[in-house]
Structures are given as C-alpha cells and as structure tokens.
Amino acid sequence: MAKLIVDKLNVKGKRVLMRVDFNVPLDEQQNITDDTRIQAALPTIKAAVKAGGKVILMSHLGRPKGEPKPEFSLAPAARRLGELLGKPVTLAPDCVGAEVQKMVGAMADGDVIVLENLRFHKGEEKSDPEFIKQLASLGDVYVNDAFGTSHRKHASMYGVPAALPKGSRAIGFLVQKELQFLGDALTNPRRPFVAILGGAKVSDKIGVIENLSQKVDVLLIGGAMSYTFMRALGQSTGNSKVEAVKENKDGSKTDVIALAKDLLKKLEGARAELVLPVDHLVVEAFDESSPTAVQGPEIDEGWMGVDIGPKTVELYKSKLAGAKTVVWNGPMGVFEKEPWAKGTRTICAALADLKGATTVIGGGDSAAAVTQFGYDDKMSHISTGGGASLEFLEGKGFACLDVIDEA
C-alpha cells in the first residue's frame, strides 16, 4: 500500500485535521495508566507542528454511547500530550460547533488542539453526513494516524477524508509502520514463517487461521481456543473454557465446534503445519492458590486448562528455532496470573532470542504480555491495533486506508 505520507504533505499554515488513537486506559481518578498510544502518535504530531501546521487532533475514548460523559473526556490525554510536547495543548469543549470553529480559526502555525471525544456524538459511529460535514470543515488536510480504528468505517475515519479534496489526505508515521511490518509479513515474508495464535475465541480467528494457513510454514495454537479444537477432535477438555456456541448480533447462534471441525478439514491440504498443544497446565479451581498438574493431550474431568504444558513449551520453542518471520496474536494461557504465565512468558523469551528475525506482535493481550514480561524492546514491531491487526492478518481490506491518497 503506497500511501501519501504526512511528511510529503504541504501543511505550512494549514489546518491539519489528524485522527489519532488516544483511547488510553484511565483509573478511577482519571489518571492515565498507560500512555503508549499517545507516545506512538508523537512523531507524526511533532512533524506537523515543525512543518508549521495548525494541528487539530481527533480521537475517541471508551464507549460513551453517543452522549457526553465526564469519565470519558479526553482532558487527561490532552494534558499528557502537552507534557510530552513541552508546549501548551488546548482541549476543545466539543469536537464540532461554533465554539470549536472559533478556537480553530484563532490558531497560529504550530498550535495544537485536541477535540473532545468524538463518540460524545452518535454521528461518529453512525457516519452521519451532517456530523461529517462539520468535522471536515475544521481541516484543510487530513492525516490518519489511528491504525487501531482503521477497520472502523466511522465519520472521522472515512467520511471526513472522503469529504476533503484529493492530494490532501495522508497517513502518519504510526500507520506507515503498521502497514510496513504487517504488510511485509503477509506479502513478502522471510522464511521459515511462523504464526502463533492464542486467546479465547476460535470464532474471532477463523478467517485469520484460514488466511495464514496458506502463507505460513508453521501455525502454533495456544490459549483457550486450543480447547475448542480439542473438542472438535473428540478429546476431553474437562472444565476448561470452551467456545462451543457464539451468540450473534442478530440473536442467532453459531455452532463453533462445527466451525472448528470444518476448519481442521480445510487445513489438511494447507501449506501450514498446524500444531496443537500436546499437554496442558491444569487446575481444579480458577484461583492462583489452586494446586496445578500437567495433563495431556486430554484434560480430565474436574480440571481446567490455564496454560500450555512443559512438553508443548519445548515443542513450540523447537518450531520457532530458526524462524525468520514470526507473527503472534493471542497469549498461550492466563498470563495475567503469575503461576499460569510460564507458557506465554517462554514464547516471549523465544522470540526475543531469535537472531535476525522479524517479530510482529499483533496488539491486544499479546502486546500486554510482551510489555509485562519486559520483552517489548526486543520485538521488531508491536501493533497498536488489536482488532485492526487481526482483520489485517485475515486479509480484509480497509476502506479507511483506501480513501487515503496514493503516494
């Protein structure tokens, strides 16, 4: 995807309407507990400021469901951005309206304004034409540096750039990096190419598994989703968390075990070698003080799996040895609880030890695990978009990137 990059856009004296992802976690006192997403947007913001642009930042935070709620204000993000930039950053009282228009009109070159939460308006997620029109009127040029929401065809992501003229729509450095690493992994990987998929739900990753199975050399499965595959193979899973049925938005239900069976049949002729856990760390109760045991390949009644077992850890390490490209999305177990973290931690260490390999971490819990265990600086790239990176790995197109001008 050869898209126009922000540094090729003439922004001097222009209003730069930039979509960022400041959806940061907050504690009960509205303090930011992790500013990674703000830090990730800094290079693009600084470049636009240095080039003399008037930078107007748009973002959502949380799920206020279309109405203003103080606990979802972007005020903490605006304050933190000001600290990181070392200059005043103004928070607008809203993202549209006469007062916002007046504030934007009074901006000098190099000024930065953060608009209040886009999702305080129902028009953001519904892509309301009037809301799009009001937002688009604030900018002369548009920059998408919010990869985490690039799979959402919302007003600020698609409607606004579509409303601005050709030649004025670019991506930021964060999105450029995401497309480079994820895109290269899928289209031009150095081999051996290994994918690691974990997490709870098979239904969320059916498309990803199908797509990657035709591209990778080895596909390692872990986490609770492995129990669903075990059930599809007729194996006992004890009391383990199994996604047997998916509740759909329209009220219907999907038989996930049947989906998993179909997928296993499809994979028989795939390029990838599919590898499932051969043993499991199990407990009698979902409590860190509960005694653990190792069972496998099946799990006895009265026990539940919480991590891959020691034989699986060694097997997966051997499959990763010598890999030149690795994509990882989803932990191997309940890594948040220390007694059950070994599988996920070992995968982190194995990736960190790979020599000359490209290691791409697909956001979400995988990114949290890599950071928690102190391996974040050892990875080639950690994606900022859990859902977006998952859809990218599935091979889905992003309309919000298609609308950006070509380089």
What tens digit of pLDDT does each residue of 271-309 get?
899 999 999 999 999 999 999 999 999 999 999 999 999
List active site positions.
37, 201, 364, 387
Residue intervals of the chain classified under CATH 3.40.50.1260 are: 6-174, 181-393
pLDDT for the residue numbered 362: 87
Taking only the tens place, the pLDDT of each residue in 177-201 is 999 999 888 888 999 999 999 988 8
Distance CA 6, CA 170 (A): 5
Question: Is the separation of the CB atoms in 226 and 233 below 8 Å?
Answer: no
Judge if the upstream peptide bond of residue 25 is cis by omega within 30 degrees of 0. Answer: no
Taking only the tens place, the pLDDT of each residue in 84-113 is 999 999 999 999 999 999 999 999 999 999
Q: Which helix (H) or strand (E) holds 231?
A: helix 225-232
Q: Report the 10 Å Cβ neighbour count for 359.
A: 26
Residues 6+ apart with CB under 8 A from 6: 44, 47, 48, 143, 145, 170, 171, 172, 173
- Output the CATH code of domain 181-393: 3.40.50.1260
Taking only the tens place, the pLDDT of each residue in 311-341 is 999 999 999 999 999 999 999 999 999 999 9
DSSP 156: I
CATH of 6-174, one of 3.40.630.30, 3.40.50.1260, 3.40.50.300, 3.40.50.150: 3.40.50.1260
Its pTM surpasses 0.95: no
